[in-house]
Chain A
Amino acid sequence: MEITALDVADAIGSTMDELSHMEPDDAFADLDIDSLSLVEAAVILSKKFGMRVDEFELAEAGNARAAATMLTERLAPQPAI
């Protein structure tokens, strides 16, 4: 299962009209995203993919593509011990 950069961009873009055209590589810092948008996007992604996504993780990732990579890695099953 994969979380794409588009999934993340859509989740964030849906929170505010001004963000609806956001691209996967746009830096969050360059856009006018407030922390509530990231909280909202984190909840939407959590519910959509059945895993806990925190707002600070999205903030740290810095853009939709990096966030998607980080989240997909987390979704991948761990190797058997």
Chain B
Amino acid sequence: MSAPAAAVVRGLGGALPERVVTNHHLSTLMDTSDEWIRRRTGIAERRHSGEAESTSVLATIAAHRALASAGADSAGLLIVATSTPDKVCPATAPKVAANLGLHGIAAYDISAVCSGFVYALATASWAISSGSAESALVIGADTFTRLLDPADRTTSVIFGDGAGAAYLSAGTADEPGAILASTLHSDGAGEALIQVPRRAGAFFEMQGKEVFTQAVSAMSDSVQTVLARVGWTATEVDSLIAHQANLRILNAVASVTGIPGSKAEVHLDRVGNTSAASIPLAMTNAATKGHRAPNDKAVLTAFGGGTTWGAVAMTWPSISVVDPH
């Protein structure tokens, strides 16, 4: 019996809203400064979506670019990882699929806040490895800025809007872009740590310090799990693409796992924390900058509301992408 197919990433794409919001601009609206924001988070600017730039619109652009990047024109499965769907009901994925002309395919949303892309990527790889799907579009898209309390400087300076997508199809584990291992976890005891509470007019809220502590611990654990599964040492990892929550979390994860800090992909300086879009946007950015070579050893990891967390080990794909900035 032949080995199950591996899911191979063959295309990447990103989409960002037009409007750039700098730290300086935020400092005119609330008690903060460019220096404080950069030092505390590593963020210099982020994007705010306009009326017409809904989650589905950004997701569609990113997915379209991922297809183009792969030289593909369709996919058998489409997953949108988001906590800011266009509507509470129905899911955003069917609309995105229809926008791409993909009528009739399986399409659903995955809701795992900042862990969304890792959850969705793992799910798509299971579908492809099992032979249930030949190809898939995995999109992380969020427009968190519309959930934020303008008076809460802790969240207002951190989040930005955007979307990132990956196109995958069946292949073999030795191809560049192959998903080699994944691990997903949750702990519902932490449901109030990152949430929009259930009351009218509630804003998004987050317990910063506790989230910081748990995020570093959970992401480091899940990275070590997948490294053990694929047999890579921390120093062998060529790229650590962690959810871009805060530069200090990225540094701490590198420190705890033993992956050299220079291998950590940094993109939040330009886009902030884009929730589920953060990892695919960071990957697209890395691809446009030529940071990585095909077959480089890469580890993705995230921690988010739920609480949820996970990691994926893969090799870097052989692709060209459009710069989303």
Contacts and interface: CB of A to CB of B under 8 A. Distances in A.
Given A14-B255, A44-B252, A44-B256, A34 B40 contact: yes
B87 interface: no
A39 B213 contact: yes
Main secondary structure of the interface of A (DSSP, over half): helix
B212 A46 contact: no
Nearest to A36: B248
B220 A47 contact: yes
B213 A43 contact: yes
Contact of A55 (B209, B248, B252): B209
Contact of A35 (B209, B217, B252): B209
Interface in B192-219: 209, 212-213, 216-217
Nearest to B40: A36
B248 A40 contact: yes
Interface residues of B, number: 13
B217 A43 contact: yes
A69 interface: no
Nearest to B220: A47
Given A35-B209, A36-B212, A55-B209, A43 B40 contact: no
A4 interface: no
Contacts, number: 41
Nearest to A54: B213
A61 B241 CA distance: 35
A39 B251 contact: no
A9 interface: no
Interface string B57-101: 000000000000000000000000000000000000000000000
Interface in B209-249: 209, 212-213, 216-217, 220, 248
A35 to B, nearest CB: 7
A42 B40 contact: no
Which 6 residue pairs are nearest across A and B when measured between Cβ atoms? A43-B216, A47-B256, A40-B252, A39-B212, A39-B209, A43-B213
25 contacts: A14-B251, A15-B251, A15-B252, A16-B39, A34-B39, A35-B209, A36-B212, A37-B248, A39-B209, A39-B212, A39-B213, A40-B212, A40-B248, A40-B252, A43-B212, A43-B213, A43-B216, A43-B217, A43-B252, A44-B216, A44-B252, A44-B255, A47-B216, A47-B256, A48-B256
Interface of B: 39-40, 209, 212-213, 216-217, 220, 248, 251-252, 255-256
